[in-house]
Structure 1
Amino acid sequence: MKVEALTLDEVLPVRHAVLWPNELVAFCRVAEDEAGEHFGVRQNGEVICVASVFLRATRQGCASLPPRLSVRGRGLALWCLSF
């Protein structure tokens, strides 16, 4: 497994599957997505955890740290942020 930069298109399916599976994928977007940096953990080529980081002059934050249910509790979200 490794942490790497991801595209928004790679992040959205994980957000959708983990956070809002009953909504449309478009619902999983946040206003800052285009300006944010996106990272994730892959296991056997599959993205299993994502982190989206948003930095602005006036505000910084992080959103969407969902690991897939099958890998929760392993500290992957924190590992992803340490990247």
Structure 2
Amino acid sequence: MEIKAIKASDTWQIRHEVMWPDQPFEFVQLEEDNFGLHYGVFENDKLVSIVSCFISNNEMQFRKLATLQSYQGKGIASHLLKYIFEVAREKKLQKIWCNARKEKKEFYEKFGMVDTEEVFTKAGQEYTIMEILL
């Protein structure tokens, strides 16, 4: 398993396949992608998991954490999350946060993230904002 910086466009296929397969491909292309840091996990030179990070005001928001179905349940996303938390610490950021799908809340709690109880719905999905202070 190897984690590398990747281009925004490298994230789109996995975002689409894993998170929004019923939406048009353009749905997963974010306007702010060009301003983000994007990381991917490679297994035998195959991109299998991705995340996009956006830094503003001493905070990092990570978005679109996704792992190909056949690679899920193997700790790959956990490894990637630990990696970006370390990136945030190296950059001396004060907070990391994300919009977590409600059904994934427990996953983020394992990393010390706290549910802010700010809930919203987007494209039929219910989200809650999770955060951790560094």
Give the distance between the partners of 1:43 and 1:11, measured in 2 at CA: 15
Q: Which protein has greater RCO, CA pairs closer than 8 Å, 6+ apart?
A: 1
Deviates further, 11-20 or 25-34: 25-34
Structure 2, unmatched stretches of 5+, are 85-134
> Deviation of residue 7 (structure 1)?
0.6
1:2-53 alpha-carbon deviations (Å, 9 max, x no partner): 0000111111111011011122221002232111100011112221000111
Give the distance between the partners of 2:58 and 2:80, measured in 1 at CA: 24
Report the TM-score, using the length of structure 2 for normalisation: 0.57
> Deviation of residue 59 (structure 1)?
4.5
> Deviation of residue 75 (structure 1)?
1.9
Give the distance between the partners of 2:25 and 2:77, measured in 1 at CA: 21
Which residue number corresponds to residue 43 of structure 1? 43
Deviates further, 2-11 or 52-61: 52-61
Task: Map residues 2-81 of structure 1 onto 2, 5 A cutoff.
Answer: 2-57=2-57, 59-81=59-81
Deviates further, 57-66 or 34-43: 57-66
Distance verdict in 2 for CA 1:4–1:58, change over 3 Å:
closer
Distance verdict in 2 for CA 1:63–1:46, change over 3 Å:
same
Q: Percent identity?
A: 28
Give the distance between the partners of 1:30 and 1:8, measured in 2 at CA: 9
Larger Rg: 2
Report the TM-score, using the length of structure 1 for normalisation: 0.87
Q: 3-state DSSP class of the match of 1:32? A: helix
Structure 1, unmatched stretches of 5+, are none
Larger strand proportion, structure 1 or 2? 2
